[in-house]
Amino acid sequence: MPFIANTDAQRKEMLEVIGVQHIDELFADIPAHLQCGEINIPKGLSEQEVRNRLDILSKRNNVDYFNFLGGGFYDHYIPAAVSAITGRSEFYTAYTPYQPEISQGTLQAIYEYQSAMCRLTGMEVANASLYDGGTAICEAIIMAANITDRKRIVIDDSVNPIYRKMVRSYTSNLGLELIEIPSKDGMPDRGLIEAALNDQTAALVVQTPNFFGCIDDVTDLGERIHSHGGLLVVSTYPLALGLLRPPGECGADIVVAEGQSLGLTLSFGGPYLGILTTRKKFARKIPGRIAGRTVDAKGREGFVLTLQAREQHIRREKATSNICTNQALCALTSLVYLSLMGKEGLAEVAQTCADKAAYARERLLQVPGVSLRFPPDRPFFNEFVLQLPMAADKVIRRLFLRSVAAGFPLGRYWPEMDNCLLIAVTEKRTKEEIDFLAHALGAVL
C-alpha cells in the first residue's frame, strides 16, 4: 500500500527523508518563467452538477450539418451491431495478447482481421495494425528503405497532404531523400515520375483514389519502379475496394490505407486504424506484429503472435520499427463491419457512394459559375473537385451559416487551387441534401 501524506507533519517528514526543506526545491531546475505557479482549479461539483454542466456544454456543439467533407475521413453509416459487438467486455477491455494460452479470442480476432485485409487489398500478409493511414505510409516507406537498402523515396503530390507532412516529420532523422512530384490534371505525372526514378530509388508512393478523388490504374507505375529495383507503395480507400480492382492486382508491393471508413466513427479525429499489407516475401520486414494460426503438441489449433518485430521483442538493432502498439479494438471494429456487410454488402455501399457522387457532381455543375477543375473524363469514386468563381474558404464559411459542411478548400495545401473545393458524398447523403447543397451554393455565389 503506497504511503499518502495527508497531514502537514507527514509531508514534512517526507521532505526530510529526501533531503529538502520545501517542495519548491524539487522544481528549482525549472526556470521561474516556465513554472505555472498556483493552479486555480475550481471547487468540485456533485454528480448532478457535473451532468448539468456537461449538458450545457454539449448544446454548444451544432451537429445538425449536411456533411460533404472528405479528404481521407468519411461520414459513412455504421450498423448498430458493430458497437453492440465491439462493446462487449471481452473485446473492449482486452490487452495486448502476450500470453496466448489466455488470449485465444483476441489472437483469433487479429488473425481474422489480417485475413480480411489481405482479401480486400489483394495482398498476402497483413500486420495488426497501425495508428492511422498516415502512420501506415510512414512505416511503409521505412520498410521499403530497409528492404532495398536505399534512401531515395519518390512520392506523388496527389497523395494526401496530411500524410506527406507526416512523412517529412516521421522520417526527418533517417537520412531519406524525399522527392515530391507535382501531379498533372489531378493524376500522377508519368513523365516527371519516370525522370525522378533511378537505381537508387527505394519506393514510389502513390494513392488511388487520390486526394482529389481521381481513380488511377497504377499498373504501369509498378512496372516502372520495378524496372529500377524499387517497390510500389499504394495508399487506398478501403471501402472503395468494394468496387475497384485491388492494388495487389496492379503490381503494388505494399498497400496502406486509413481504415476509418470500415465502421469507425469520425470522433473528432480518432482513434483510427492504419492498414498495412504486403507480399509474403517481405513479411520479416513488416512493422508491428503478425498473429498466426498453428497447432499445439496435441494437434489442437491455436493462435499466437508469430512475428513481433519491434525493439522490445528482438535485439534493438534488428528491429524493423519502433511502432509501439496496435489499434486492436479499431482493427476488430473494421473486421466486425466487414463481416456484417459481406462481399455483396460492401460492393453495394461502394456503388451507392459512387452513384450519389455522380448525381452530386452533375447537380452542382448546374450552378452558374461552377465548373470542374480536372478533365470530365477523369474517373472518380465519391470525391471530385469543383472550380468556383471565388475563394473556396469564403464559400465554405458562408455555407456553414446555412448548416452545410460543404467540403475541403484545396488552397490550404495547393495555393494555385485557392478557388477549388473538394466535395465528398457517402451513402448517408440523400438526394434532398445534395439538392439543398446546390441551392445553397448558388445562393452564396
Of the CA atoms within 13 Å of residue 249, those in its CB half-sphere come to: 10
Specify whether the CB–CB gap between 210 and 203 falls below 8 A: no
CATH number of the domain within which 417 lies: 3.90.1150.10
- Would 5 be classed as within a structural domain? no
pLDDT of 326 > 80? The answer is no
Specify whether the CB–CB gap between 256 and 225 falls below 8 A: no
Is there a single domain that holds both residue 95 and residue 188? yes
Is there a single domain that holds both residue 268 and residue 322? yes
Percent of the chain whose pLDDT exceeds 70: 96
Domain finish residue from 295, 319, 337? 337
Provide mean pLDDT across the span 222-226: 98
Model pLDDT, residue 93: 80
Q: Which residues share a beta bridge with 204?
A: 154, 232
Is there a single domain that holds both residue 371 and residue 304? no
Reported as a pLDDT band with limits 50, 70 and 90, residue 306 is: confident
- Would 321 be classed as within a structural domain? yes
Domain finish residue from 337, 363, 389? 337
Is there a single domain that holds both residue 332 and residue 366? no
- Would 378 be classed as within a structural domain? yes
Is there a single domain that holds both residue 359 and residue 300? no
- Would 30 be classed as within a structural domain? no
- Would 4 be classed as within a structural domain? no
pLDDT digits (tens, 9 = 90+) for 352-391: 999 999 999 999 999 999 999 999 999 999 999 999 999 9
User: Beta strands of 177-229 (E only): which ranges?
Assistant: 177-181, 201-207
Is there a single domain that holds both residue 234 and residue 214? yes
Model pLDDT, residue 325: 65
Rounded to whole angstroms, how far apart are CA atoms 4 and 418?
59
Mean of the per-residue pLDDT values of the chain:
93
Model pLDDT, residue 277: 98
pLDDT of 2 > 60? The answer is no
Domain finish residue from 287, 311, 337? 337
Is there a single domain that holds both residue 265 and residue 369? no
Is there a single domain that holds both residue 231 and residue 276? yes
Provide mean pLDDT across the span 222-249: 98
Residue 237 amino acid letter? Y
Which residue, among 323, 181, 157, 298, has the nearest Cα to 235 in the 3D structure?
Answer: 157
pLDDT of 66 > 50? The answer is yes
- Burial code of 94-106, b = ≥16 C-beta within 10 A, e = fewer? beebeebeebeeb
Rounded to whole angstroms, how far apart are CA atoms 25 and 29?
8
Model pLDDT, residue 1: 44
Which residue, among 201, 254, 205, has the nearest Cα to 229 in the 3D structure?
Answer: 201
Specify whether the CB–CB gap between 234 and 405 falls below 8 A: no
Of the listed ranges 38-52, 152-166, 171-185, 297-311, the one predicted with least confidence: 297-311
DSSP secondary structure string, 280-335?
GGGGGG-SSEEEEEEE-TTS-EEEEEEEE-BTTTS-GGG-SB------HHHHHHHH
Is there a single domain that holds both residue 215 and residue 349? no
Model pLDDT, residue 223: 98
Provide mean pLDDT across the span 67-73: 96
- Would 16 be classed as within a structural domain? no
pLDDT of 38 > 90? The answer is no
Of the listed ranges 25-39, 358-372, 404-418, the one predicted with least confidence: 25-39
Reported as a pLDDT band with limits 50, 70 and 90, residue 435 is: very high
pLDDT of 312 > 70? The answer is no
CATH number of the domain within which 161 lies: 3.40.640.10
Is there a single domain that holds both residue 389 and residue 293? no
Is there a single domain that holds both residue 202 and residue 266? yes
pLDDT of 40 > 90? The answer is no
pLDDT of 408 > 60? The answer is yes
Rounded to whole angstroms, how far apart are CA atoms 310 and 144?
16
Which residue, among 119, 115, 114, 111, has the nearest Cα to 301 in the 3D structure?
Answer: 111
Is there a single domain that holds both residue 125 and residue 255? yes
Provide mean pLDDT across the span 237-257: 98
Provide mean pLDDT across the span 127-139: 94
Number of domains the chain is built from = 2
Q: Identify the domain containing residue 189 by its residue range.
A: 80-337
- Would 52 be classed as within a structural domain? no
Q: What Cα–Cα distance (Å) separates residue 141 from each residue in 250, 279, 408? A: 19, 15, 27
- Would 97 be classed as within a structural domain? yes
pLDDT of 4 > 60? The answer is no
The sheet that has 177-181: what strands, in order across it? Answer: 125-126, 274-278, 254-258, 231-236, 201-207, 152-156, 177-181
Kindly report whether the global pTM for this prediction surpasses the value 0.75: yes
For residue 302, which phi and psi values (nearest 5 degrees)?
Answer: -155, 170
Cβ-based neighbours of 194, under 8 Å, separated by 6 or more? 224
pLDDT digits (tens, 9 = 90+) for 73-126: 999 999 999 999 999 988 888 777 878 888 899 999 999 999 999 999 999 999
Q: Which long-range contacts (CB under 8 A, 24 or more apart) does 438-444 make?
A: 438/363, 438/364, 438/366, 438/367, 440/399, 440/402, 440/404, 441/364, 441/367, 441/370, 441/395, 441/399, 441/406, 442/367, 442/368, 443/402, 444/395, 444/398, 444/399, 444/402
Of the CA atoms within 13 Å of residue 428, those in its CB half-sphere come to: 14
Specify whether the CB–CB gap between 214 and 379 falls below 8 A: yes
